[in-house]
Structures are given as structure tokens and as C-alpha cells.
Structure 1
């Protein structure tokens, strides 16, 4: 597929500018996935099965050549990606294109932020040390991962790739979102935090658009407790953090 433009200002609270050079995502997250719901609503994809078949924007690099000079003085950081995955697990062609994109963006003097449920490639070590590389990690339980993120890489593979970049001096971060309530899975947030204690920043957020969450009567109290656990942990470890809007409802 081709597009007329790629780079745009995002409304995501911790984002700046972003781009999505792939439509769809084979990870098939069943939280449910907001990106899929949005694509279906605007008739960009017919159904879940269609969403699982990613389509590359084939004129990505030529569009970047046109748009990067235009946005160069406006962008603080360019994020890949909010509606797809730049290192989709098992798709070497997407990985190759994403690396080319990062190279072009860095050559323009712009740093990148990356978020994936795939494996961060070691090649990223050679790119700008101003880039920020992140993984999504909402559990350490592989049975839950297979249920919630059936097409994504294993949690340990993600962690290992993130740790490799961190040891090489890269900036790293972790998104613990959408974090599930105990009626979905019983787990200890402290264990997840300990697993990512080496990272530079942690983003934490609740699960949305899920009937199981709203039917759990204590969900507000639960998320308030988890937020305080994250904040206390990050302060003690001197890790930067961001709590997503709507996750904390306790004014204290």
C-alpha cells in the first residue's frame, strides 16, 4: 500500500510526533487492541483476521525524504509506532524497513523512540545514543502472554534484547500497559518491576475497553494501589516514570 503522508503529531500523552509505516499487526493482542478497534471503526480493515496480516507502506522512505526537512525543527522525538509494531515478531522485512527509517531520522538530527512486543535488534547499538528503546511488558507469565499477545515474542526474549541494548549504553524504557486486574491474572507487580529494574524509565497504565475490568468491582482501588507501588519503586531505584492518565483516581 502507499500513503500520501506519514509523520503526524500524536495525541498520546507521552508522545510527540509519530509515524506508522505498517498497517495491521500480527501480534494479535486481545486486551482488546485499541489500534485494531480504531482501524475497524474507520473501515481500514474488515476483521481481526485481516488485522493479523500486516501491510507495509511501500513508499515510506521516499515520503520521509520529503517530510523530514519539513518537520525537522518541530520534532523533539519521533515515535515508532502507536498503531503497529516496528519490530513485529517474525517479520524481517518490517525490521529492515524500521532500521532504515531510524537511520534516516537520526541522520536528520532527530532522535527516535521505539516500542515493541517483538525483539529489539542488536543493530540498534550502532544508531544514535539519544534514541530511546522500549518494550511492552505486562506480565512474566508465558501462559498469559500466549493468551493475550499470541503472536508476540516471549517476555524473556523482549527482556533479553532490552538488557543487551542497555548494557551497550542505549537509553531504555518499559511500558507496563495495559496492566491486567486480578480477575484476569493473579500476579505480583513487584516481580515485574524487579525484572526491569535496570531500565531508565517505566510507563504504567491500566487496561481499557475491556468488560472484565469494568466488572471487577475493585478495579479503581486496585489500580490506585499498583500506581503507588510503581511510584515508590521508581523513586527508590531512581528510575523515571510516567503514570498514564486515568490510571490513578486516588487524589492522595
Structure 2
């Protein structure tokens, strides 16, 4: 079984005690809990926000001791600490747990894994597959996110055991494989991601695609249309969309990765959106394109507007973004109700940007 990696990270066992953590990802209509099968991720995506979270940022001593990490952010992609005991400990916890969080956005779903890739390699896949089975046994809805659904296909028996309680998705930022290899280092190619996800859809499992983060090198409506039409071939139940966030050390690492891999066009476009107004225009333009094209091709799109983008918008633009932020996602998984309102009208100011 291919794991999609070209470089092997430093590995160890993770001493983390927490199992299920409440999550703010219900604001994105994803989940109410997260469960991570490892700390660190072998894909090493430069834009990843995880190294700046407490799970990595506050555990420097542990990372140094376990895998000789000096800087959790700079060395992201070079280390993985696996949580091999998660399935056993999870079953014990669920057998005793009497309350369960279920928000309107999260629907009580457990997200595996949003701080690492659930199927980045066979070891992570073994942990994840057992975890999926246990959650299914306890009738807990589970959302799996992976850039390696091809590997996940080798574990369909686990998904079968949890059928009706599990959905699987993948991330697709662009169809430019040179850009993907520059920014996502060791992750499988986009074509492989879509092929693997389509196998799950053909087998009758609910699926989703995270169209994120779309790069500013997608600089025309036609390019975005090509991207959307391609991801639609995987037959996902929902296509989430999010532009890249230009703040934080991970954004500078993304710019550097593009330059270091001689992807000059992408590097130039990323460097331009360091400017807040340029980032605002790019983000609004991409959101508008995805909404327009989703409507045109009858695709189940759902926008994820950034809170900072809303904070620097005003009037009709802010209201448009806020309506998306508050709108239910069009995904039937976990008995989610269908959106009660149509897609909000794109303001004239944003529509002129998207021409």
C-alpha cells in the first residue's frame, strides 16, 4: 500500500492524555468534537495552521524529548507522534460518557483528524480505522478528513462497520500539481485524492471536498470553473470553500515554499496578498466565483468566510459574508437539515471584482 510520502519523518509515541476535545469547528458546520490520532503530520503543508495551535506551540519540551524537535512550526512535516492507544482508550471513555454535545452547526459529529491526516500512512490508518469502527459501534457520527483517500480505501471494512455514521472528505486547493508539490510537500497528488474519494462515493458513502485554501494564482473565473468541474467528478455531497489566510508564520512559510520550489507565479501572487486590501479583493473574488459557479452548475457549495475578512468588510459585503457564516451547509450527513434560505445575493461591489 502506498502512503503517498517521499520523505520519512521522525516518529515516536504520543504521551497525550486527552481523547475527545470540544471543537470550534461547529462554526464551519464540520463537527462538535475532534479526535487526533497523532501530533504532527508527515504531509508538511506550509499553510497549515496547526503548528501555531496549543497542541504544538505549548508542547516544545515534549516534542524535543520525544522526536528532537527544536521548532514545531519550522520542522512541521518532519515529525509524527502516534497515539496507538486511542482506540482502546476511546472505547473505555464512550462506555462511561453520559452527555454528548450537539450544536446546530456540529450535529454532534466527531472530526478525525483536523490536526493531522487520519490516513497519512499505514500506522495512522490502522489507528483511524479502529477508531471509526468504535465510534460507529456507539452510533457517533464521524467526519474523516484525509489527503490520502486512496489508502483509506484499503480500510473500507471499517467504514462498512460504521456505515450511516461516517463521511470522508479530502482537500483540493488547485489543479496545479507543481503548486501542490511545492506547498504540500509529501501529500498525494490531487488526481489521486479525487479518484480515492470517488471510490467511496461509488460505494454509497457520504463524501465532502474542502476546496481550501484556493491559491491566488487561480486568477480567472474560467480557472475556478475548471477546478469546480473537476472536483464535481468525485460526486461530493458538499464542497466547502475557503481562500488562504495571509496572517501568521505559516503564511510566510507558504510564500517561501513557493519561491524555494521555483514556482515563481505562485510565489509572486502570494507575496502580493501580504497587503491586506489585496488579500481582501482576492478573497471576495474567489468566494464570488465559487458561489456563481456553484449556482450555475447546481453544485452543493458552502463558503467559509474568514472572521477577519468580515471584520474589514462593511455594508452589503459584510452582510453577504455574515449570511454565509450563519447559513446551514447543504450536507445531509448526520441528519443535517437542508438550508432554509437560498444562497445570499452577491453584492454589486463584489460582483464587479469577479468579472
User: Is the TM-score greater than 0.5?
Assistant: yes
Structure 1: tracts of 5 or more residues without a match:
none
Partner of 2:293: 233
CA contact (8 A) 1:30 1:149 kept: yes
Shift in Å, 1:238:
4.0
Query: In structure 2, how many angstroms separate the alpha carbons of the residues matched to 1:241 and 1:63?
Result: 37
Query: In structure 2, how many angstroms separate the alpha carbons of the residues matched to 1:50 and 1:189?
Result: 29
Pick from 91, 115, 131 the counterpart of residue 65 of structure 1: 91
Per-residue Cα deviation, 1:5-27 (whole angstroms, up to 9, x for no partner): 21011012223111112010010
Q: CA RMSD in A?
A: 2.2
Shift in Å, 1:228:
1.8
Shift in Å, 1:58:
2.8
Shift in Å, 1:169:
1.1
SS in 1 for 2:239: strand
| Structural mapping, 1:137-216, within 5 Å | 137-182=172-217, 188-197=223-232, 198-208=235-245, 209=247, 210-211=251-252, 212=271, 213-215=273-275
CA contact (8 A) 2:136 2:165 kept: no
Moved over 4 A (4+): none
Query: In structure 2, how many angstroms separate the alpha carbons of the residues matched to 1:168 and 1:233?
Result: 27
Partner of 2:101: 74
CA contact (8 A) 1:105 1:111 kept: yes
Give the structure with higher Rg (CA).
2
For this pair of structures, how many residues does the alignment match? 247
| Structural mapping, 1:64-143, within 5 Å | 64-69=90-95, 70=97, 73-74=100-101, 76-88=108-120, 91-120=121-150, 121-122=152-153, 123-124=155-156, 126=160, 127-143=162-178
Shift in Å, 1:216:
7.1
Shift in Å, 1:3:
2.6
Shift in Å, 1:229:
1.9
Classify 1:178/1:61 alpha carbon distance in 2 versus 1 (closer, same or farther; 3 Å): same
Structure 2: tracts of 5 or more residues without a match:
1-13, 64-69, 103-107, 253-270, 319-346, 348-355
Structure with greater helix percent: 2
Per-residue Cα deviation, 1:11-58 (whole angstroms, up to 9, x for no partner): 122231111120100101112x21022255313443233652211113
The TM-score, its normalising length taken from structure 2, stands at 0.64
Shift in Å, 1:114:
0.9
Pick from 20, 28, 33 the counterpart of residue 7 of structure 1: 20
